[in-house]
Structure 1
Amino acid sequence: MGRSHALTGWCAGLLVAPLIGLGTVAEVVPFAAATAGYALVPDLDHPHARASRLVGPITRIVSEAVRAFSGVLYRLTKGPRDEDSTGKHRHATHTLVAAILLGMLAAGAGDRGKWAVLAVAVTGLLLAADVLGDWLIVSVLGATAWTATGTALPGTTTADAVQAGLTGIGGWIGVAVALGMFAHCLGDSLTRAGCPWLWPLPIRGETWYEIRLPRPLRFRTNGRFERLIVVPLLLGAAALLLPGALQAVERLFTATSIWLAGQ
Structure 2
Amino acid sequence: MGRSHALSGWCAGLAVAPLVGLTSVAEVVPFAAATAGYALVPDLDHPGASASRLLGPVTRLVSAAVRAFSGVLYNVTKGPRDEDSTGKHRHATHTLVAAILLGMLAASLGDRGKWAVLAVAVTGLVLAADALGDWIVLAVLAAAGWSVVGTGDALPGTAAADALQAGLSQIGGWIGAAVAVGMFVHCLGDSLTRSGCPWLWPLPIRGETWYELRLPKPLRFSTGKWFEHVVIVPVLTIGGVLLLPGALQALQQLFDATSIWLAGQS
Indicate whether the TM-score tops 0.5.
yes
Q: Cα offset for 1:144?
A: 2.1
Q: Cα offset for 1:150?
A: 4.0
Unaligned runs of 5+ in 2: none
TM-score (norm: length of structure 1): 0.96
Is residue 31–residue 173 contact of structure 1 (8 Å, CA) maintained in 2? yes
Distance 1:189 1:257, change over 3 A: same
Would you say 1:200 and 2:202 are equivalent positions? yes
Is residue 114–residue 163 contact of structure 1 (8 Å, CA) maintained in 2? no
Q: Which amino acid aligns with 1:256?
A: T
Identity %: 77
How many Å separate the matches in 1 of 2:209 and 2:105? 25
- Which residue does 2:263 correspond to in 1? 261
Deviation per CA, 1:25-49, whole angstroms, max 9, x where unpaired? Answer: 1110000000000000000000000
How many Å separate the matches in 2 of 1:152 and 1:247? 25
- Which residue does 2:236 correspond to in 1? 234
Unaligned runs of 5+ in 1: none
Give SS of 2:119's match.
Answer: helix
TM-score (norm: length of structure 2): 0.95
Q: Which amino acid aligns with 1:206?
A: E
Is residue 151–residue 159 contact of structure 2 (8 Å, CA) maintained in 1? no
- Which residue does 1:117 correspond to in 2? 117
| Aligned partner of 1:168 among 167, 170, 174 | 170
- Which residue does 2:127 correspond to in 1? 127
Moved more, 6-15 or 247-256: 247-256
Give SS of 2:111's match.
Answer: helix
Distance 1:118 1:148, change over 3 A: farther
Would you say 1:43 and 2:43 are equivalent positions? yes
Q: Cα offset for 1:145?
A: 3.2
Give SS of 2:90's match.
Answer: coil
Moved more, 252-261 or 90-99: 252-261
Alignment of 1:79-228 (within 5 A): 79-148=79-148, 150=150, 158-228=160-230
Q: Which amino acid aligns with 1:223?
A: K
Structure 1 runs of 4+ with >3 Å offset: 148-161
How many Å separate the matches in 2 of 1:153 and 1:19? 30
Q: How many residues align?
A: 263
How many Å separate the matches in 1 of 2:160 and 2:256? 42
Q: Cα offset for 1:55?
A: 0.5
How many Å separate the matches in 1 of 2:194 and 2:10? 23
Is residue 152–residue 161 contact of structure 1 (8 Å, CA) maintained in 2? no
